[in-house]
Copies of this chain bind each other. A is one copy, B any other.
Amino acid sequence: MGKLARKVAIVGAGMSKFGVHYPKKRNPDLWVDAWLDAVQKTDNGIGPKDVDACYVGNFTSDLFNHQGHLGPQIADLVGLCPKPASRFEGACASSGIALRQAILAIASGAHDVIAVAGVECMTEQPTVKVTDALAAASDALFEYPAGATFPGLYATVASAHFKEFGTTEEDLMRVAIKNHENGVENPYAQMQKSIKQLMESKKKKCAERGMDVPDWKDEFDFLKSSSNMMIAYPLRLFDCSLVTDGAACLFLAAEDVAKKYTDTPVWIEGTGQGSAALSLHDRDILTTFTATKEAAKQAYQMAGLGPKDIQIAEVHDCFTIAEILAMEDLGFYEKGKATEAIRNGDSKRDGSLPINTSGGLKAKGHPVGATGAAHAVEIFKQLRGIAERNRQVKEKPEIALTHNLGGSGGTCVVNIYRV
């Protein structure tokens, strides 16, 4: 990665409420919600006339909604035609790629301001078809015909991590518990209930119905019970992210025009992207995602920063084990040591390195093509000190990182931000 010809900043960011919106809302409606939210969060206002191009991240509206060619559709809805409008795809890293390509396009001199969209409407399909569509991000020639859908692939990664580093089911559960606690504080999240609240509510229902009330003493008892069904050992239901409809919008601007839109731009200090063989069986190692290591290396190098400089991060917790891998592969902790940090509470909102204050994919939700852009929305808020409810990190952070994965680590985009 060479040095960029000019700097780029995020000057506005917003998102739709994440959740189950179909059939009331589809990608076009969710996108308009996100656009309006981002306009409202751009200090000095912004409109279609300010925007030079529209970069849309979407995994597979093809399979979810029988709609390809999203670039012009999304652009047209907010009055951006006839400007350039394209779709970018890298499975669940699709809007991470859209964001990165927008950064490069502005740096190139071609455009000054770009609207980055992330959109995905998944609940038009029944769950079994959602799993099948998502499997198109794995290797369709080898993994898919063998029946290996994503919970199974990440279960393989988790099992390897268990064996190599002594990681336990409780370690995974701590990730879910923390992310649900953060989701409670995010009005845009799909799940705004802590696991303790869900447990208590379950107990209450049992009592109301005259059934035996389970004697769960804490969340771990609940999460080990049959209420948290096994999906693919060792991953249970609460280790998996949600099936979600949602959209996010980012306004990016070149350094020479950024101040027109806000006095406090969130600068992109570094960007990196890595790739790896789609199939797990083609990799040398299961407990490290080399795409993450490569993306992080490029981003740190461009930013002139290292893992120790990062004060807050949004990482790609499509499954709880993925958050643990990310904490290690990004260099925040040595290999096998992330679980210790999690036990210490380091990744909580008041910890030494808060991770997924948004609630993560686990509680905020995971509309796959929108996730990368939504990561940046949370970082925009945290660095500006405007995160809602009680989740704003107390000592307002200045340097942040986002980590967006595609597939079982076939793609990774890492960005570093500073305010």
- Write the residues of chain A forming the contact surface with B, with a CB cutoff of 8 angstroms: 1-6, 26, 28, 52-54, 59-60, 62-63, 65-73, 75-76, 80-91, 97, 101, 103-105, 107-112, 133, 135-141, 144, 271-278, 282, 290-291, 293-294, 406-407, 410-411
Contact = CB atoms under 8 A, between A and B. Distances in A.
A325 to B, nearest CB: 15
A81 B111 CA distance: 29
Given A76-B275, A82-B290, A274-B82, A4 B91 contact: no
- Which 4 interchain pairs have the tightest Cβ spacing? A84-B273, A5-B5, A67-B140, A107-B108
Given A62-B62, A62-B63, A75 B275 contact: yes
A91 B68 contact: yes
Given A71-B275, A140-B65, A411 B85 contact: yes
A109 B107 contact: yes
B108 A276 contact: no
Given A136-B62, A291-B82, A89 B87 contact: yes
B1 A86 contact: no
Contact of A410 (B72, B137, B277): B72
Contacts of A52: 1
A84 B411 CA distance: 8
B1 A108 contact: no
Contacts of A104: 101, 104-105, 108, 110
A283 to B, nearest CB: 10
Contacts of A59: 68
A139 to B, nearest CB: 7
A135 B133 CA distance: 18
B137 A68 contact: yes
A71 B273 CA distance: 12
A91 B76 contact: no
A84 B290 CA distance: 12
A35 to B, nearest CB: 16
A119 to B, nearest CB: 13
A278 B72 contact: yes
From A54, A101, A277, residue with most partner B Cβ within 10 Å? A101
Contacts of A62: 60, 62-63, 68, 133, 136
A272 B83 CA distance: 10
A352 B275 CA distance: 46
A97 B65 CA distance: 22
Nearest to A81: B275
A43 B136 CA distance: 38
A110 B2 contact: yes
B69 A89 contact: yes
Given A81-B276, A83-B275, A290-B82, A66 B101 contact: no
Contacts of A294: 82-83
A67 B132 CA distance: 11
